[in-house]
Each structure stands twice: as structure tokens, then as C-alpha cells.
């Protein structure tokens, strides 16, 4: 009986072996070998999150941009507008210009009775320890200023809105500027009424005279910290305004305000100014009421 049971078990085991695939009796199946993908080093930059960039090339090196000091422009730096003197011609008119940076220098008003203290721009400049000077605004035959003047807080003249020759104002109340009468800080410690405006906010002023030709004096400003004072060869006010507008780039010309001209023209430039050591005056120069002196801040 035991023999019959044993034989039956053996027959059933043999049948099971025949129904099982041969692959199941072999050793554990080997893993398939997958050929690695070759990276495409010419593929484009992939931007995943906006704040992060990844290059598919393993040789790529990502660095932050480097800015050298010489590449950074400081708008209020003296290096942008160094103190210097230059003669330049525009529209046939010769300009004798001293330009400067108002973060380093400013125009001080030097007022007097004509000829009482200074007979020239040079004398006014030396007295105030300036580097350059130019004649100032208009005055009457009695020597009184045509408009208001304030020098080191001391006032003279009266506020004048009736004449185009006093329609503008140079003022320094902590920061120098050229203003229309209606926008002026009348309490500024340095103030000079003069005019007319030649160029204002980059546009030539209309209605300027094109009749009388004479030597001219003027203030130039770029609306920020670049300033200039200048005398010119003989011209009309209208021609002068157009010539200011056409000055080469690099000169302050956004706004220009006329000063007393003709025989009052007097510009002194000391040797401490680059290209300086000169004086440009009318050959029949007369004593004037006041001067504007470039002094160190």
C-alpha cells in the first residue's frame, strides 16, 4: 500500500514539471542592460523656476556679472563735469565757457555800488577766493540794480516783474537753480534777478530780439548739477538762444539765462581752472553793479 501511494506522488510531480515553463527553472533572471542617453550639449537653456537657471552642458560655468568702478556713473560726481574753461563756436558765435559741477562749486553773488570795491571780475574773484567770475545783472544809470539782489543774505534793489531783463532769477538756497520770478524763493541768501531766458527746459524761448548785436554774458545749466558761465562774441539775443541750443553735447544747455552784456561783459578765469589763466572783457568795459563768482562749496 505504501508503495502504491509513493508511486502516485511521483507521477503527479512529474506532470507538474512538464507544465512549468523551462524559464522558471533557471537561475534568477538577469537585469536588462539599458544604454545611457547621450546628453545633448547643444540644447537650449532650460528655465525651471524663474529665479533659477540650469544648463544641460556639464562644462558650463555660471557666474554673476561683475561691474568695475569705471562702469558705474555717479550723476553727482565731479568727474562727470570737471571744472574747466574752453572756447567753442556754435552757429558762428564764439563762447568762452567756464563749466563746473555744483556738488563742488557754486555761484556766489558779489554786490556793490558800481566800482566801489571791484573794478573787474578778477578783483571780485580774488576777494571771494573764487576760481572764476563774470559780470552780473542789469543796473540803472544811478547805479542801483534793476531788480532784486541778495548777496550773503544782504538785500539790495527791489523786486521787479515789469522788465524782461529781470524775468529770471539765479538763486542758491542750499541748491542752486534758475527760476522764473513766480517760482523763486525770495528769501534765498544768494539771489540775482536778470534776464531774459534764452533757452528753457531745452526749448528756445520765443520773442527774443533779433535786432541789436552785442557781446553777451550768460549762465548755463543742465537742470541738475552741471553749470557754466560764459561770454560770447557779438550777436543778437535770438541768435544767441539758437546757438546755445546747438552747442555740442557735453555742455550745460538745457536752460540759459542772459546777464548784462555789451560793455559790462567781463569774464575772469584763474589758473586753477583747467585751460584757465585768461580774461575776456569788452574793450570799453565799464564798472558794473555786481558779479557772479565761482567759489568752492
pLDDT tens by residue, 212-254: 999 999 999 999 999 999 999 999 999 999 999 999 999 999 9
Edge-to-edge order in the sheet of strand 290-296? 105-111, 290-296, 132-135, 266-269, 278-281
> Quick one: which of 262, 138, 280, 132 has its CA closest to 196?
138
Q: How high is the pLDDT of residue 80? A: 80
Handedness of CA 155, 156, 158, 159 (dihedral sign): negative
What's the CA gap between 119 and 133, in Å, rounded?
A: 12
CB neighbour list of residue 59: distance below 8 Å, 6 or more residues apart: 41
Q: How high is the pLDDT of residue 25? A: 40
- Any bridge partners for residue 220, and if so which? 228, 256
For residue 118, give the C-alpha cell.
571791484
> Tens digits of per-residue pLDDT, 67-93?
333 333 444 444 489 999 999 999 999
Kindly report the pTM of this predicted structure.
0.74
Quote the radius of gyration of the chain (alpha carbons, Å).
Answer: 42
> Quick one: which of 77, 100, 102, 227 has its CA closest to 175?
102
Residue 44 pLDDT greater than 60, yes or no: no
Q: How high is the pLDDT of residue 12? A: 44
CB 142 within 8 A of CB 117: no
For residue 140, give the C-alpha cell.
540803472
Concatenated DSSP letters for 183-213?
A: G--TT-SEEEEE--EEEETTEEPTT---S--
What's the CA gap between 211 and 68, in Å, rounded?
A: 53
3-state secondary structure of 70: helix
CB 110 within 8 A of CB 118: yes
Q: How high is the pLDDT of residue 63? A: 38
- How many Cα atoms occupy the beta-carbon half-sphere of 275 within 13 Å? 11
Residue with the three cell numbers 515789469: 162
Amino acid at each position: 500500500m505504501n508503495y502504491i501511494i509513493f508511486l502516485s506522488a511521483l507521477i503527479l510531480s512529474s506532470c507538474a514539471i512538464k507544465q512549468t515553463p523551462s524559464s522558471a527553472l533557471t537561475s534568477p533572471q538577469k537585469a536588462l542592460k539599458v544604454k545611457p542617453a547621450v546628453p545633448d550639449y547643444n540644447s537650449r537653456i532650460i528655465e525651471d523656476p524663474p529665479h533659477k537657471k540650469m544648463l544641460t552642458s556639464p562644462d558650463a560655468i555660471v557666474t554673476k556679472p561683475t561691474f568695475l568702478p569705471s562702469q558705474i556713473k555717479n550723476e553727482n560726481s565731479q568727474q562727470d563735469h570737471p571744472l574747466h574753461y574752453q572756447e567753442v563756436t556754435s552757429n558762428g558765435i564764439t563762447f568762452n565757457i567756464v563749466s563746473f559741477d555744483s556738488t563742488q562749486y557754486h555761484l556766489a553773488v558779489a554786490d556793490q555800488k558800481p566800482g566801489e570795491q571791484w573794478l573787474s571780475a578778477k578783483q571780485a574773484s580774488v576777494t571771494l577766493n573764487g576760481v572764476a567770475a563774470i559780470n552780473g545783472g542789469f543796473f540803472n544809470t544811478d547805479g542801483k540794480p534793476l531788480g532784486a539782489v541778495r548777496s550773503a543774505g544782504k538785500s539790495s534793489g527791489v523786486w521787479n516783474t515789469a522788465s524782461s531783463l529781470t524775468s529770471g532769477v539765479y538763486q542758491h538756497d542750499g541748491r542752486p537753480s534758475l527760476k522764473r520770478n513766480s517760482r523763486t524763493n525770495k528769501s534765498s541768501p544768494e539771489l540775482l534777478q536778470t534776464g531774459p531766458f534764452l533757452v528753457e527746459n531745452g526749448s528756445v524761448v520765443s520773442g527774443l530780439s533779433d535786432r541789436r548785436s552785442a557781446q553777451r554774458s550768460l549762465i548755463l545749466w543742465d537742470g541738475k548739477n552741471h553749470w557754466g558761465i560764459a561770454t560770447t562774441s557779438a550777436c543778437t539775443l535770438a541768435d544767441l538762444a539758437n546757438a546755445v541750443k546747438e552747442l555740442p553735447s557735453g555742455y550745460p544747455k538745457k536752460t540759459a539765462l542772459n546777464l548784462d552784456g555789451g560793455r559790462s561783459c567781463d569774464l575772469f578765469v584763474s589758473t586753477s581752472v583747467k585751460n584757465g589763466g585768461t580774461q575776456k572783457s569788452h574793450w570799453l568795459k565799464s564798472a558794473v553793479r555786481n558779479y557772479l563768482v565761482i567759489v568752492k562749496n
